[in-house]
Structure 1
């Protein structure tokens, strides 16, 4: 996997753990100039540590063998953020910071590290400020010139929207969430405070 991490189009090679939907998402991510994630309850996939992702997949009843193949694909997806040609913005609900174990503490440390990357912005939306529509579902907005595509997450699948009439409501939600999200500095402080409380 490490030898082919930089290979273009690796998701087209019938990789284990890659459904057609996953391959489509990776293709959009690979071509996007900007990716914006909204996740009210969990850390978004592109920022998840492998242990964090594994724990949720196993809790969801996915077989251990399938989990490991999915994690391989996830690791390759995460590598997209190390390239300088994409701007990544993550808006997280404050609930995503809550946990009480080493896995979650390590995940918050990884969030803080990611926020130090020049092309990554992480902002927290406090629970008391969260718009009602923001609580509905996680989604990702991908600016893939000349189009904008929205990926809406469901339990074990997702949907892609590219028609302006369907994309527009999600863009309005992002605008509203951005208005009430903490600044990058305050978000970093909130992440570290939550991590430090777990370590006490």
Structure 2
């Protein structure tokens, strides 16, 4: 039996933060709100700090107490409470998927859009299996070959969000041109196949691709990569920041808006979509001559 966590932490955290925000807006303390519902002990505190479960009907009771009237808010938060106990497909990889990565996959699974600036690698949702194995193996320096293969499988499985029948994820990716010049000595055809993959996914109506040219003017993306995850309904967007030792999130309204503004400037500095695809096609054609 795999060692899985009973609840996707990121869903509980989003729900707890939303409930705390509405309670504060209503001017109620934890004790007052709990007393109004006849709750005993630190139940509400545990819910708001993502350390406790809550039933959808209790979510409705809290929102009513807080004076929330928007049915969209009720539906979104009740759905979060209902889904909090669900285990995603990624839980079967709990032996190799770190908790922070599992949280992000859960977030991505629930999202309706992702805007990503990729200065170092092709975004994971757009990678071929060979490219994923090569790049994961290079970065996961303490992983065994079996673990690298499993992580590559996870990356491929994540891509199902782009074609899900109940509403595919909308993705807008800006990729640094330097990424497209990368070469792989062990398997020289890896980059050619990756370029072809980018051209293929660009034909999907929910995918927008741009290339940041090598001679682009200075832009906010010079500070590093980020993914801006858009969540449905009233839930606020979340920003993922990654490095060699893990990931962190920017979730405050002002912080998220900073990244949204930065992405707009990055888009403006990048090549237009048609020019970007023409460049990728030229590079793919040249790679076939080598």
Normalization by structure 2: what TM-score? Answer: 0.63
Q: CA deviation at 1:74?
A: 1.0
Instruction: List gaps (5 residues or longer) in structure 1.
Output: 1-6
Superposition map of 1:74-85 within 5 A? 74-83=155-164, 84-85=167-168
Cα RMSD after superposing both structures: 1.8
Can you list the C-alpha shifts for 1:75-94, whole angstroms capped at 9, x where unaligned?
11011111233211111111
Q: Which residue of 1 aligns with 2:146?
A: 65
Q: 1:10 to 1:184 in 2, by over 3 A?
A: same
Aligned partner of 1:47 in structure 2 is 126
Report if the CA contact (8 A) 1:17-1:73 is conserved. Answer: no
Q: Judge which range, 37-46 or 164-173, deviates more.
A: 164-173
- Provide the secondary structure at the position in 2 that maps to 1:128: coil
Deviation at 1:96, TM superposition (A): 1.3
Q: CA deviation at 1:170?
A: 1.4
Distance in 2 separating the partners of 1:155 and 1:135: 18
Mind listing any 5+ residue stretches in structure 2 that lack a counterpart? Answer: 1-85
Instruction: List per-residue Cα deviations over 1:99-134 (Å, max 9, x = no partner).
Output: 343101110000100101111111111122153431
1:14 deviates by 5.3
1:5-44 equivalence runs, <5 A: 9-13=88-92, 15-44=94-123
1:199 aligns to 2:288 (yes or no): yes
Q: Is the 8 A contact 1:105 1:198 kept in 2?
A: yes
Gap change, CA 1:77 and 1:156, over 3 Å in 2: farther
Query: Does the residue aligned with 1:72 lie in a helix, a strand or coil?
Result: helix
Count of residue correspondences: 194
Q: Which residue of 2 aligns with 1:141?
A: 228
SS in 2 for 1:85: coil
What is the TM-score when the length of structure 1 is the normalising length?
0.89
Once residues 283 and 218 of structure 2 are traced to their aligned partners in structure 1, the CA distance between those partners, rounded to angstroms, is 22
Which range is displaced more, 166-175 or 47-56? 166-175
**Greater gyration radius:** 2
Where relative contact order (Cα < 8 A, 6+ residues apart) is larger, the structure is 1
Match of 1:175 in 2: 264
CA offset digits 1:136-162 (Å, max 9, x no partner) = 321100011321000011114111111
Higher strand share: 1
Cα shift readout 1:45-81 (whole Å, capped 9, x = no counterpart) = 1111111111112222232111011112111101111
**SS of corresponding position for 2:279:** helix
CA contact (8 A) 1:38 1:140 kept: yes
Distance 2:218 2:247 in 1: 22
Residues 150, 162 of structure 1: 8 Å contact kept: yes
Work out the CA distance in 2 between the residues paired with 1:87 and 1:106. Answer: 23
Partner of 2:177: 94
